[in-house]
Every structure is written in structure tokens, then in C-alpha cells.
Amino acid sequence: MVLHNICNHGYSLGRIYHELGHDVTIGFVNYNDRKDVLRIDPKIKQQIIGADPTYKLILYMRRFTRNIDLLHCNYCLFPVIAGYWCKLIDKKKYIAHARGSDIRDIDLKKYRFIIKYTIRKANLFLVTTPDLLKIGRTIRNDAAWIPNPVDTERFHQIKPKIDLHQGFDYAVFMPATNFELKATNSVIRQFSELPSDFCLHLVSYEPSPQDYSLSKLIKELNLEDRIFIHKRIPHTEMVQFYNASDVVIDQFGGVRAFGNVTLEALACGKTVITEYDGRDYPEKPPIIATSVNNLAQTLLNLGSKSNPAGRKWVLKYHSFPHVREQLKKELYRI
């Protein structure tokens, strides 16, 4: 069994397949972004495919899948096209697993016909967030929701080894990596309205023009001594940053689902502020939902910094045992 992966979601799914008793190989495309993930569990085999999905993944997938029974293609573009290729040539079974950006607004996408066709030819079609079910069922009426798995043994409440306060009363952590998409500029403008006892910690994974414009804005607003940009935090160290902060901000900018940040921070018992209110879940999540224009006032009105209900909610809907049982049920359909 193989799990193709372009992000840490795939690694967590690989762990779950392993717990179900399968031999698992995880194929990494964006290897440079996942070096920290590769070292987590030596029991699971890993295959580095390379950084160019078009060239490496599709044309050379047959060599990679020679002894594979099932491909779990963890993104509905090049991974699923590769899965279809292996099914067409070698009669392999494959699962198409939509992450969000791959099928949201699908009718506007350049590759929409290929994406829909390869999803329909898959042996199973899964989606990661509940809001995707409605979209997914316009492509296939048997689409099923498998929640993002969160490693609650790694993400939990600890005494952090780092200090994010650095003399400030309130430390706010926003690990958004795509500054433009997640409205980080608007967050910074809101932050300028807060008193001087608040500090903000951001994360930048790759140097980009966005970094320059963000630094320029921080300077224009005279926030250089209160806003800190960290370079490439390994995923294994994120638990330290969550626990060292008072509140965690996830993405804004018209989002329609929770990212990993919300789920991991909740698992650590942290208060999370984000735009999406979790309306698609069976049970309302214990987060603070607001628009970015109300962020400053929301932070000022913040009561308790701890959020024990957050961890209970993640354990119920996103823990490995819960996702394992959901995936097990769906695999019986293949």
C-alpha cells in the first residue's frame, strides 16, 4: 500500500494505515518542505519522488508502485492523475482524496475536466473538510468525508521551552505561510490598533515578494519591536510555539474550512481566532469566529486564554482513533 503525499496530512494518514495493519510507503513530492516529517517514524517506509510533480510523479510512477496494491492520492491534481495512470496501465486501485484548493471553485480551474475525470475513475473519493462534501457530490454522489487527522499525542499541553512573550503581556501566534491569501496584511493593520502590551509572531517558509511588502508595512506602522517573523519552524517544533502563545490566529480571507493550525492549536488547549465558524460540523467547535476587521476588538475582549474544550472537540472529530475508524469503514467499499 502506498500513500502519495505533498504535505503532513499525508504522513498522518500513513500512520493510520500503519495502525490498520498495512505496509505503508509514503511518497513525498515537496521533500525540502518535509525533512522534519521524514524523521518522525522509522517504521514507515518513505520514497522521495522529487519536487517536480509533472515530470517525476506521472511519468515515473510505475517504477514507484511496482509492489503496491493501493494508491491513496492525497491531492486531486497530479497525484490523482498519477493514480489514474497506474490504474490504466497496471490495473492498480487508487483513492482520490480532495484537500480543498484542488476542488473548490473547480469549474474555474484550467485542469477541471482532467480533475473531474480522474476523480470519477477512482475506486474511492474522499474529501478532507465537511464543506467539500457538497462540492464533491457534484462530481461523484458517493463522496465521503474523512476528517484531517491530528496527532493528539504530539499536539497537547506542555510547558514550552521557548518564550514568545519577551516582556510583553500577550503573545499572539499566527503561523500563516501564504501572507496574501490569508489576509496577513489586514491582521497587521488591526494589530496596530492594539495597546503596546501585545506582540505578534508570524512564520515565513520561503522568501517571496510578500515578505518584503509585509516587512515594509510593519515598518510603516512602527511595529518592528512588536511583530516578529520566524523563518521555517519545523512541524515537530510547532507544539512549542502553540503552547508558548496566549492565543493563536488562523487564516482569514474568505476561508471555508479549518486549516491544520486551528486543529493543532485546539489540541494544545489554546484559544483560536479565525474567520470560519465551523458551521459544517455536526457540533459547533469551541473557537472564536470573527471577521478580520473586528480582530483588534476581539483580542481586547479576550477572556480566559485556556481552552480545554478545544482539545475535547479535536479528540472527538479529528483524533487518530476516530479517523482510523472512519477510514476503515470507507475502505470496505473498495
Q: Where are the domains of the chain?
A: 2-149+319-331, 170-317
Least confident of 76-80, 192-196, 202-206, 261-265: 202-206
Measured CA to CA in angstroms, residue 88 lies from 82, 114, 118, 124 at distances of: 10, 14, 11, 15
pLDDT band, very low/low/confident/very high, at 111 (cuts 50, 70, 90):
confident
Task: Give the H or E element holding residue 78.
Answer: helix 78-90
pLDDT band, very low/low/confident/very high, at 286 (cuts 50, 70, 90):
very high
What is the pairing mode between strands 25-28 and 2-5?
parallel
Q: What is the pLDDT of residue 150?
A: 94
| 175/247 Cα distance (integer angstroms) | 12
Instruction: Please state the rounded mean pLDDT for residues 245-259.
Output: 87
Residue 325 clears pLDDT 60, i.e. is over it: yes
pLDDT > 90 in the chain, percent: 52
More confident residue, 111 or 317: 317
Residue 58 clears pLDDT 70, i.e. is over it: no
Would you tell me how many other CB atoms lie within 10 Å of the CB of residue 325? 11
Q: What is the pLDDT of residue 51?
A: 47
Average pLDDT, the chain: 85
**Do 170-317 and 2-149+319-331 fall under one CATH topology?**
yes
Q: What is the CA radius of gyration of the chain?
A: 20
User: Is the distance from CB of 267 to CB of 155 less than 8 angstroms?
Assistant: yes
Residue 27 clears pLDDT 90, i.e. is over it: no
pLDDT > 70 in the chain, percent: 83
pLDDT band, very low/low/confident/very high, at 121 (cuts 50, 70, 90):
very high
| 304/308 Cα distance (integer angstroms) | 11
Least confident of 86-90, 127-131, 210-214, 314-318: 210-214
Instruction: Please state the rounded mean pLDDT for residues 290-311.
Output: 89
Q: What is the pLDDT of residue 26?
A: 78
Q: What is the pLDDT of residue 254?
A: 77
Q: What is the pLDDT of residue 47?
A: 64
Task: Give the H or E element holding residue 95.
Answer: strand 93-98
* CATH topology assigned to domain 2-149+319-331: Rossmann fold (3.40.50)
Q: Mind listing the pLDDT tens digit for each residue in 32-52?
A: 555 555 555 666 676 656 545
Task: Give 53's DSSP letter.
Answer: I
* CATH topology assigned to domain 170-317: Rossmann fold (3.40.50)
Sheet holding 25-28, edge to edge: 45-48, 25-28, 2-5, 70-73, 93-98, 124-127, 144-145
Q: What is the pLDDT of residue 214?
A: 81
Q: What is the pLDDT of residue 235?
A: 83
